Amino acid sequence: MVTTRNEKVAIMMGSTKYAHRLGVLSDENCWSLLRHYSFDGRQEKESEKLKEIGMEISKKCNGLPLSAKTLGSLLRFKESKQEWQYILQNDIWKVVSTLDEPVLPALLLSYNDLPSHLKQCFAYCSLFPRAYLISKYAIIRHWMAQGFLGDHLAAKCEDLIAVGEEYFNHLVMRSFFQKDVTNS
């Protein structure tokens, strides 16, 4: 089974015999997905005060599950109504990419919200080809070698690996990496 948004990929894989084309999510389903990621671990009272803004944000996802998941993960770390309002009214929603495949505004918002140490680690991954299978511990060793995880002379290797795991897991939670379920 091959899943892709780009039908050319399915053709290259020779898996177009039984193609199932998925449409976009309904507003209700998009909100449900965003809510799942953004309200996880919150009190019901706290979630209720953010619901209205959250529903408006979910409409900006245009039914794309990746956008809803990414924004939900971003909003999980935003506690105030003002922070949620900022996401809703951000100018990035007006961005139009000139690339072959447009950058989803939700991903750009999430990237811009990353702390600089995580941006640095994620940007390093651009050295690898697209769709490259990155080993968690291999990329952590790369980050260690670059000095992205702290002073390797002053810290124990185990401590730096723990920092790298934290960085990696944070990027996974923000949908910048996708876990390979076949190797998990």
Q: Mean pLDDT over residues 88-99, rounded?
A: 69
Model confidence over 57-84: pLDDT tens digits?
999 888 888 888 888 988 988 889 999 9
Token pair for residue 92?
Answer: 């990035």
Contacts 24+ apart (CB under 8 A), 12-16: none
In the three-class reduction of DSSP (H, G, I as helix; E, B as strand; rest coil), residue 88 is classed as helix
Structural domain ending residue among the three candidates 67, 96, 113: 113
Residues 90 and 76 in one domain: yes
- Does the pLDDT value for residue 99 go beyond 50? no
Which comes out higher in pLDDT, residue 132 or 180? 132
Residue 128 belongs to domain spanning: 116-173
Residues 84 and 165 in one domain: no
Location of structure tokens 């080993």: 135
pTM of this structure: 0.63
Q: What is the C-alpha end-to-end distance of the chain, expressed in Å? A: 18
Instruction: Give dist(CA 143, CA 117) in Å, integer.
Output: 11
Provide the pLDDT for residue 182: 47
Instruction: Give dist(CA 43, CA 55) in Å, integer.
Output: 18
DSSP type of residue 25: P
- Does the pLDDT value for residue 140 go beyond 70? yes
Residues 61 and 152 in one domain: no
Total of domains in the chain:
2
Q: Residue 158's pLDDT band (boundaries 50, 70, 90)?
A: confident
Provide the pLDDT for residue 31: 93
